[in-house]
Structure 1
Amino acid sequence: MQSWTPNTPLQNGQYIIKRAIGGGGFGETYLAEDTEENRLVVIKTLNREQREKPDFAEIQKKFRKEALDLSKCYHPHIVQVYDNFPEDGLWAIVMEHIDGDDLAAYAENYTAENGYLSETEALRYIDQIGQALECVHERKLLHRDVKPNNILLRRESKEAVLIDFGLAREFQPGKIKSMTAMITFGYAPIEQYERRGDFGYYTDVYALAATLYSLLTNRVPIPANYRAEEDVKLSPPQKFNPQISHKVNAAILKGMELEPANRPQTVWEFREMLDLINQEVQLKSSCGMDYRKLRDLLKAGKWKEADKETARVMLAVAKRENNPLSCEDINNFSCEDLCTIDNLWVKYSDGKFGFSAQKKIYQCVGGTRESDQKIWDAFADKVGWREEGKWFEEYENITFSKTKPKGNLPLFIFGPGSVLLFGAWYELWFDKEGIISTCSLWIFFSRVQTCKL
């Protein structure tokens, strides 16, 4: 029995239920009209089975918290959460309505008409969802239900979007944790069959690899528990689709290893195995800038020297050697040069540092186009630019190391001598009272987004 019937008004009439569109082990999902924004939305709440459990109050508390965490993770390949509210004792989560089919239906229809989905197309979707998972993992969340049915393909742009975070849970890497043992056969790794398992990023890696297996073969892989109990080997995807390359075949099998320790430990590593991360950075420049010194410093792990070299080349590209970058400089900064600098940082830090890594973190803590001191502080805490609520003020006192938090570098020291963190940018974006100006951090990350880093 559904919670709401068609034409049911919610939140004092702001939302009007149109119809039920699905249900699973945890939730019920509805298509609704947002009368204030004049748009269709999806509303999700906990189902009757959950409501009848004695610990429903705690379940609902976690349901809302995970939705709030997700709402702060802005990413083009993650369904957007708009709102949440209580209705007759039930918390409702309002999400973006995506016009399009799920990847399971899309791949099945494609296979019926044209043969197997091409490796190039399948890898494009896996790369997009992989990047979405990296954002989810930044918030110390696991999705735990990655599969073709939980990936929607936008009808117009053909971009993949990860949905259904009903099983998403917080975790701490390296710690045994109790989690609800709900699984999707074929996509869930062996650790999800136990209430108390050793969960990690590799948990979602298994499901992502299984999703790629399914897209390229139009088959659901053998369930992990059956493989473990019956000692049955997983058939290589090439057996069903000879067009799969040896590299992709090997990466899928590695990503679906039964033992977590034998899998790629992060989504980044799995994407790298699939050749989705640029292996050789081309030192392109719109103005003939020589990036060999920056490359060599990064390759040698000389992070501080590389940080200073980054500042030097960026100022030189903008022709502002003796002045800080202005907002206009940032908006007009060459995408070709920005991409080269970012690709170098990303490659030699194994994805840990770089503008694109910082942008993802900024989005994951709720950063938008609006200036927000709390978001700015949260971002700085996340990347390690503040400790115990205090900013690092002297550049020379900062420790440079690959063990620093993700996104810690580059530090953007634009200006001579010993300067505040962010150098001239910090002074530019804050007035004398410490209030963020209209030229906010998002100006830079908007450029990063525009340049598709």
Structure 2
Amino acid sequence: MRRWQDGQQLDDGKYIIEEYLGGGGFGETYRAQNRHEGKSVAIKTLNLYQQFQPDFAKTQNKFLKEAMSLSKCRHPHIVEVYDIFREGDFNCMVMELIDGIDLATHLKENGVLSEQKALSMIQQLGDALTCVHKQNLTHRDVKPENIMLRKRGMEAVLIDFGLARQATLSGKLMTNSSRGTEHYAPIELAEQRPQLGAYTDVYSLAATLYNMLTDHKPIPSQGRKIIDPFIQPKQYDNKISDRVNAAIIKGMELEPQNRPQSVQEWLDLVMPKQAANEVQLVSAVGMDYRNLRDLLAAGKWKEADEETSKVMCKVAGKEYWLDIESIDNFPCEDLRTIDQLWVKYSDGRFGFSVQKRIHQSLGGTGELDIKIWKAFGDLVGWRKNGRLLYYYKDLTFSTKAPEAHLPESLHKWIYFGMNRGEYECDEDAERWIYSLASRLVKCNI
């Protein structure tokens, strides 16, 4: 097979090639249009080099297994696999096309990240890698070039699993495929038949954090083995905390057995463990949730509800209200933090996840259903005498309110939209409830 040309149709015309995006040692990727759904996607297949190798058939099977495993990795910070199909003799993987730039370009254009912002991204990537490892895969090429930042919210997304391979039942991998980028690759990748595991990705993730905070690439591990000229991150910037500096050093230990053996174990070194009942105030965009936390802790429900609306609008880049598109793209970290704060300080009575549970218990699905919306509104106290409560003063800001009555930001935005003539009451109220429930499901909340 030669490289696909712009305009070429695949999978019986379902996809049409728009542009060759690039490739590496394993695969090549194209931007294409899904003609059935009217959206752009990325399609990956093996590259020209692999196609002429004597073990191509075996590699094809590995590629297919990888695609199937990745399709099970449903995670907001892993590029989503939509479809797998065969074009002629070649397996193809259809993936999400991310609107944004890669981390390497972002760092080049904007310089180093603050420690807070870097750790927020590292948490996202660490959670993503943990999901990958649960599928008995290792990424093996974690680096800034393989991390995309969504334009909306600057969420980090792990891409390019071209080096990933099936692991054995022991959770370790034996292979002799490509080595990844030298500055971020641990020493075991240089071996003829390396024994790999989660600790392999730990090294690369730690090296990526090194680069994010210092704007310097680490010395390649093979060079370190000879002369070990390792420069600590704090030597580039003494504002880097001692904890993070030590965690990077530990994560980049040359010998695999000296590193944390799982990503979570390393994350626990990078970021202090929260108390069992403490909500970690994580934000994908650097939002400060301390005021919301303090208002909820003091039982100031109305003020906390107003603060919830305010911070959510700021996160989404909106002035007064969120539309359905904003909800569909709201950063998972921020949605989770807001929900956890409400659930904790209301003893499980209020929160978006509580609203989702009730909506689903009534039979709420992806289909518009006015009867379910009305039943939901009646149950949570947003409707009275068969009508939506239009005025903010008519709501109840205390723990005596019905379960899931708060936060009522969604109710407020529906009303605001109707006042602007952009929404009709019941149909769009149900769409909003469904959009929020869908986002919560995708974010695993």
Q: TM-score, normalised by structure 2?
A: 0.63
Q: Distance in 2 between matches of 1:76 and 1:63?
A: 22
Structure 1 residues 148, 273: closer, same or farther in 2, change over 3 A?
same
Give the conservation status (yes or no) of the 8 Å contact 1:101–1:155. yes
Give the Å deviation of 1:277. Answer: 4.2
Cross-structure match for 2:32:
32
- Quick one: which of 224, 227, 234 aligns to 1:227? 224
- Quick one: which of 236, 253, 256 aligns to 2:252? 256
Give the Å deviation of 1:261. Answer: 1.2
The answer to whether structure 1 residue 20 and structure 2 residue 17 are counterparts is no
**Counterpart amino acid of 2:10?**
L
Give the conservation status (yes or no) of the 8 Å contact 1:335–1:451. no
Q: Distance in 2 between matches of 1:450 and 1:287?
A: 28
Give the conservation status (yes or no) of the 8 Å contact 2:76–2:442. no
Give the conservation status (yes or no) of the 8 Å contact 1:282–1:340. no
**Counterpart amino acid of 2:95?**
M
Cross-structure match for 2:104:
104
Structure 1 gaps of 5+ residues are 289-333, 343-354, 356-368, 371-444
Q: Distance in 2 between matches of 1:176 and 1:168?
A: 10
Give the Å deviation of 1:43. Answer: 0.5
Give the Å deviation of 1:154. Answer: 0.3
Give the conservation status (yes or no) of the 8 Å contact 1:145–1:167. yes
Structure 1 residues 85, 108: closer, same or farther in 2, change over 3 A?
same
Structure 1 residues 341, 21: closer, same or farther in 2, change over 3 A?
farther
The answer to whether structure 1 residue 269 and structure 2 residue 279 are counterparts is no
Give the conservation status (yes or no) of the 8 Å contact 2:76–2:443. no
The answer to whether structure 1 residue 282 and structure 2 residue 291 are counterparts is no
Structure 1 residues 452, 277: closer, same or farther in 2, change over 3 A?
farther
Give the Å deviation of 1:157. Answer: 1.7
Aligned length: 309
Give the Å deviation of 1:89. Answer: 1.1
The answer to whether structure 1 residue 85 and structure 2 residue 74 are counterparts is no
* Partner SS for 1:43: strand
Cross-structure match for 2:386:
none
Give the Å deviation of 1:245. Answer: 1.0
Structure 2 gaps of 5+ residues are 280-292, 299-338, 348-352, 354-364, 367-436
Cross-structure match for 2:59:
59
Give the conservation status (yes or no) of the 8 Å contact 2:25–2:178. no
Structure 1 residues 340, 260: closer, same or farther in 2, change over 3 A?
farther
Give the conservation status (yes or no) of the 8 Å contact 1:281–1:340. no
Q: Distance in 2 between matches of 1:249 and 1:131?
A: 20
Cross-structure match for 1:410:
none
- Quick one: which of 168, 171, 176 aligns to 2:167? 171
Q: Distance in 2 between matches of 1:267 and 1:156?
A: 26
Give the Å deviation of 1:130. Answer: 0.4
Structure 1 residues 341, 259: closer, same or farther in 2, change over 3 A?
farther
Structure 1 residues 451, 80: closer, same or farther in 2, change over 3 A?
closer
Give the Å deviation of 1:209. Answer: 0.2
Give the Å deviation of 1:198. Answer: 2.5
* Partner SS for 1:196: coil
Give the Å deviation of 1:337. Answer: 7.8
Cross-structure match for 2:328:
none
The within-5 A match list for 1:429-444 is: none
Give the Å deviation of 1:78. Answer: 0.3
Structure 1 residues 83, 110: closer, same or farther in 2, change over 3 A?
same
Cross-structure match for 1:46:
46
* Partner SS for 2:32: strand
Cross-structure match for 1:373:
none
Cross-structure match for 2:149:
153
The superposition leaves residues 355-384 of structure 1 with CA deviations (integer Å, 9 ceiling, x where unpaired) of 9xxxxxxxxxxxxx89xxxxxxxxxxxxxx
**Counterpart amino acid of 2:75?**
H
Give the Å deviation of 1:17. Answer: 0.5
* Partner SS for 1:182: coil
Q: TM-score, normalised by structure 1?
A: 0.62
Identity of aligned residues (%): 48
Q: Distance in 2 between matches of 1:6 and 1:276?
A: 50
Instruction: Give the alignment's Cα RMSD to 1 decimal.
Output: 3.3
**Counterpart amino acid of 1:11?**
D
Structure 1 residues 60, 244: closer, same or farther in 2, change over 3 A?
same
The answer to whether structure 1 residue 191 and structure 2 residue 193 are counterparts is no
The superposition leaves residues 323-369 of structure 1 with CA deviations (integer Å, 9 ceiling, x where unpaired) of xxxxxxxxxxx845866999xxxxxxxxxxxx9xxxxxxxxxxxxx8
The answer to whether structure 1 residue 210 and structure 2 residue 207 are counterparts is yes
Give the Å deviation of 1:180. Answer: 1.3
Give the conservation status (yes or no) of the 8 Å contact 1:154–1:161. yes
Give the conservation status (yes or no) of the 8 Å contact 1:177–1:197. yes
The superposition leaves residues 96-148 of structure 1 with CA deviations (integer Å, 9 ceiling, x where unpaired) of 0001000011011111xxxx311111111111000000100111111111001
**Counterpart amino acid of 1:272?**
D
Q: Distance in 2 between matches of 1:101 and 1:195?
A: 34
Cross-structure match for 1:351:
none
Q: Distance in 2 between matches of 1:84 and 1:92?
A: 6
Q: Distance in 2 between matches of 1:11 and 1:141?
A: 27
Cross-structure match for 1:200:
197
Q: Distance in 2 between matches of 1:144 and 1:176?
A: 11
Structure 1 residues 280, 244: closer, same or farther in 2, change over 3 A?
farther
Give the Å deviation of 1:94. Answer: 0.5
The superposition leaves residues 262-315 of structure 1 with CA deviations (integer Å, 9 ceiling, x where unpaired) of 11111101111111642453399x899xxxxxxxxxxxxxxxxxxxxxxxxxxx
Give the Å deviation of 1:53. Answer: 0.4
Q: Distance in 1 between matches of 2:297 and 2:218?
A: 50
Q: Distance in 2 between matches of 1:337 and 1:195?
A: 53
Q: Distance in 1 between matches of 2:77 and 2:51?
A: 31
Structure 1 residues 277, 82: closer, same or farther in 2, change over 3 A?
farther
Give the Å deviation of 1:170. Answer: 1.9
The within-5 A match list for 1:342-353 is: none
The answer to whether structure 1 residue 129 and structure 2 residue 125 are counterparts is yes
Q: Distance in 1 between matches of 2:136 and 2:211?
A: 27
